[in-house]
Structure 1
């Protein structure tokens, strides 16, 4: 998983370089495909070789990544980092530290405490969440007070995954279909 994250980060870094135009450094050549005769029970069907010209798309726009894509990609750079209360680095991270650090990279300032974060942005229905939205949870026993936050990484047709820092497993991806998270869920917010 980590090599994939590093490749994604490298791709994001390189895509940020300000190249003025894409320049083709080769002359596209037609591709010749030879079709050989096919033997069938009813006889032989013969085909003449044909040439098909395939040319690359040179003027394709450069790949662009949304702010949400960049936020989620950067959050994945911390996948596997151990939990550390108050942590905001690869040496250790708590849930709000992951969110603050990740969003800061995109110049989005958020409070350091998850329950204060839950006052930012617009509330949205869980069915409407998308990549980069925040999910808030009440994880303390017999309490409805928000104490945990995660960033939506995938959202489609009732399937929602989020990255967060778990006290027992560090930075991981979890699913809203997991019983624990389903019942601890309080609200979702969009801050992007």
Structure 2
């Protein structure tokens, strides 16, 4: 029984995300709901998009493929974390991006470590909406185990959507101590 508990603990720690342990004393909440209109075969009880919560000014206008993919990802806001999940019943970080990109005919690998091998590596100061951010969230981890997608860049703040074990599908800021410390690299797929 003890071995099973240990293995389960290892799976959770090595999974796609970790408990947020921000070093900031200021609590921050970002609430991003999502648009039903962007989803195919959507539920009528799904949340509506509120782009102003991530600073967007035009809720029904999309400028690029990245905007469509971001909106698709936002439709999963609030979905609980589930290791290996790819549905509204639960999803992990790579599952969120795998599904969001696939809905727009872009095939990504299923795991964050494999996603990190795709695209062009870019400097963090050059990231734009739709770019992928990769993290090592476990202490002493030697490999990437978490991924998020940039939803907004404004001045020196980068907001990204991801699925964390503690908060499910949510939008966070790269300014947050935990995410800033765990950040490894950014890549451009689009």
Report the structure, 1 or 2, having the larger strand content.
Answer: 1
Q: Distance in 2 between matches of 1:144 and 1:129?
A: 24
CA-based RMSD: 1.7
1:126 aligns with 2:155: no
Runs of 4+ in 1 over 2 A off after TM superposition: 62-65
Matched residue SS, 1:116: helix
Residue in 1 aligned with 2:43? none
User: Aligned residue pairs: how many?
Assistant: 140
Q: Contact 2:98 / 2:107 at 8 angstroms: preserved in 1?
A: yes
1:1-192 correspondence to structure 2 within 5 Å: 5-6=34-35, 9-10=36-37, 12=38, 64-192=62-190
Q: Which runs of 5+ in 2 are unaligned?
A: 1-30, 40-59
Q: For structure 1, which runs of at least 5 residues remain unmatched after alignment? A: 14-61
TM-score by length of 2: 0.70
Structure 1 residues 186 and 92: CA distance shift in structure 2, 3 A: same
- The superposition leaves residues 2-59 of structure 1 with CA deviations (integer Å, 9 ceiling, x where unpaired) of 7x623xx42x57xxxxxxxxxxxxxxxxxxxxxxxxxxxxxxxxxxxxxxxxxxxxxx
Residue deviations 1:68-117, cap 9 Å, x none?
A: 00000000000000000110010100000001000001111111110110
- Cα gap change, 1:158/1:63 in structure 2, threshold over 3 Å: closer, same or farther? closer
Matched residue SS, 1:177:
coil
Q: Which has the larger radius of gyration?
A: 1
Kindly indicate whether structure 1 or structure 2 has the higher relative contact order, using CA contacts under 8 Å at least 6 residues apart.
2
